Structure 1
Amino acid sequence: MARPTALPAVAVTAVSLVLTLAVVVMWLGTAMPWPVALVVGLGIDGGWLATLAYERRLAVQGDHSTAVTVVGWSFGLVATAVLVAHALTVEADTGAWLAVSWLPLAAKALWLVHGLWERTALTPNALSAITGIQQEARDEAAVARARLRAEAATEETRLTAVTQAGARVARVQAKTAQTLSRAWSTLETAREGEDTGRALTSVTSRVTPDVAPRWQLPVWGPTQSVSAFTLAPALTDAKLDALVDEIRNSETPALSYREMAVRFRAAGHSASEVRLRAAWKRVVAA
């Protein structure tokens, strides 16, 4: 199968051979017999064609000869010189003859390009393999781009969801803190009020007669853990009454039941709520 670059080279070579032969016969035919001029023209074209064929055979074999190349270009230059000399000696159409005088060199240049084409040409199988490799690379790049876009969209969605959830949590925390602040403000107002103690005492006077307990509402702050203790033997009523009276009167004024119960259990003593409250009532009544 002829290469695309071989057809222009063959066409220009044929035109150049015919043109050189015709110019030699016309130009030298006036000074010598035309058969002699024909032989001269055929000699120039034959030498050029022979060296060109030899160069082509070496190129097909993957070889190269500098000497053959120099001889081939020499014949091309001789043919070009003949055409240029003829164009300069004719009286009419000098520009037209000069315009075609470069055809021998153009033919040599086209054969050079054709040789370069052959040295870099690939077989259909190689071209198919290269096409497949390029297509595979394009497919992998497209898949990688799609994966990156999908991961970016997923990450954007996740960050949006986390941001919205964090905003909702912050709003709930702020609302809860505001509600607790108002509640504890109300509680603190009630605890610091002058009539709070009297109101609570009047409500519980029937439970603790003749006693003015000190009422303290809870205070916002950190909790304190109660120290661990070991279980002791059950206390008798007399011993329980003595401990309750001792703890109750450890400060002035006397402690309230709640304060006494807390200190009673913090000291490591053990008694049920029913027995402890009964002992409190006996001590207060006494």
Structure 2
Amino acid sequence: MTAVSMVLTLAVVVMWLGGSMPVLVALVVGLGIDGGWLATLAYERRLAAQGDHSAPVTAVGWFFGLIATAVLIAHAAGEQSPGAWLAVAWLPLAAKALWLVHGLWERTALTGAALHSIQGIQQEARDDAAVARARLRAEAATEETRLTAVTQAGARVARVQAKTAQTLSRAWSTLETTRAGKDTGRALTCVTSRVTPDVTPTWELPVWGPVEPVPVPALEPGPALTDAELDRLVDDIRTSETPALSYRDMAIRFRSAGHSASEVRLRAAWKRVA
């Protein structure tokens, strides 16, 4: 587009100024416009390659582009059919704008190695996401299977318990009906009276249902024995038989009688009374 714009500018300058001045002069003017534009463009590209930028150089480049566009528009205004020349009058500015876009692209351009690394990272991220989705689906399916199995097992247990309770209820009802019969007690008494004479048994079924627990009072330890009391008890147990009991037999009878004392105190009392 830059080359086309330079050719069009040179041709228009030669045709426009060729009638009022020598053709060589008009050619020099056209080459001056194109040369200035090309020089500023080359310098701007050199600065961009070095990572630098110059606002004056950019402004001069745009200035030459505007001159070329103005020449094309002025030439089109003097023609009988200006449409064709106006259609190409925007090419210098468009070429300059495309060079600007190309500079922006170069600032963000990456090498092949960097692009390959980016593609590898993106592919790795996609692989990890796919593996994570597959793992979640598998865990969800496993959990669903486990819950289904647990639910079915619980349902089977509930059905067995209900069936067992129903069977026990029917059996209990049969036993209760039999016990409450008119001839049941007389028949049972007739059978047991030969084994336990003068004893009338009572035929009661155990309780079917919840039973309230009977509280059992805790045993409270008795008061501690004094040394004198301990010596007296040891002496009484020791001399309760002839010959006198040994320490082992005395200790067994002492504790069997419900008395309590530590082994140290009991052996000390034994030594005192023996």
> Which one of the candidate residues 112, 118, 122 is aligned to 1:124?
112
Q: Does 1:13 align with 2:2?
A: yes
- Size of the aligned set, in residue pairs, is 216
The residue number in structure 1 matching 2:155 is 167
Q: Does 1:194 align with 2:182?
A: yes
The alpha-carbon deviation at position 31 of structure 1 amounts to 1.5
The whole-number CA distance in structure 1 between the counterparts of 2:57 and 2:213 is 109
> Which one of the candidate residues 12, 25, 38 is aligned to 2:14?
25
Q: Does 1:68 align with 2:68?
A: no
> Which one of the candidate residues 103, 106, 110 is aligned to 2:94?
106
The whole-number CA distance in structure 2 between the counterparts of 1:144 and 1:224 is 56
CA 1:207–1:223: 2 relative to 1, 3 Å = farther
RMSD: 1.9
The whole-number CA distance in structure 2 between the counterparts of 1:212 and 1:145 is 79
The residue number in structure 1 matching 2:234 is none
- Counterpart mapping for 1:1-286 below 5 A: 12-92=1-81, 94-221=82-209, 222=211
The whole-number CA distance in structure 2 between the counterparts of 1:91 and 1:202 is 146
Query: Match for 1:121: what amino acid?
Result: A
Percent identity (aligned): 82
The whole-number CA distance in structure 1 between the counterparts of 2:102 and 2:176 is 103
The alpha-carbon deviation at position 114 of structure 1 amounts to 0.8
Aligned-partner SS, 1:55: helix
Q: Please give the per-residue CA displacement for 1:183-207, whole angstroms capped at 9, x wherever unaligned.
A: 1111222222232211101222321
The alpha-carbon deviation at position 91 of structure 1 amounts to 1.1
The alpha-carbon deviation at position 33 of structure 1 amounts to 1.2
The whole-number CA distance in structure 1 between the counterparts of 2:213 and 2:80 is 127
CA 1:196–1:219: 2 relative to 1, 3 Å = farther
CA 1:224–1:120: 2 relative to 1, 3 Å = closer
Aligned-partner SS, 1:195: helix
Query: Match for 1:74: what amino acid?
Result: F
Instruction: Give the alignment's TM-score, normalised by structure 2.
Output: 0.75
The whole-number CA distance in structure 1 between the counterparts of 2:20 and 2:188 is 151
Tell me: higher relative CO, structure 1 or 2? Use CA pairs within 8 A at least 6 residues apart: 1
Query: Match for 2:10: what amino acid?
Result: L
The whole-number CA distance in structure 2 between the counterparts of 1:191 and 1:224 is 26
Q: Please give the per-residue CA displacement for 1:61-92, whole angstroms capped at 9, x wherever unaligned.
A: 00000000000000000000000010111113
The whole-number CA distance in structure 2 between the counterparts of 1:220 and 1:56 is 104
Query: Match for 1:160: what amino acid?
Result: T
Q: Which runs of 5+ in 1 are unaligned?
A: 1-11, 228-286
Q: Please give the per-residue CA displacement for 1:189-233, whole angstroms capped at 9, x wherever unaligned.
A: 2222232211101222321334433322333244978x8xxxxxx
Query: Match for 1:124: what amino acid?
Result: G
The residue number in structure 2 matching 1:6 is none
The whole-number CA distance in structure 1 between the counterparts of 2:178 and 2:94 is 113
The alpha-carbon deviation at position 98 of structure 1 amounts to 0.3
Instruction: Give the alignment's TM-score, normalised by structure 1.
Output: 0.72
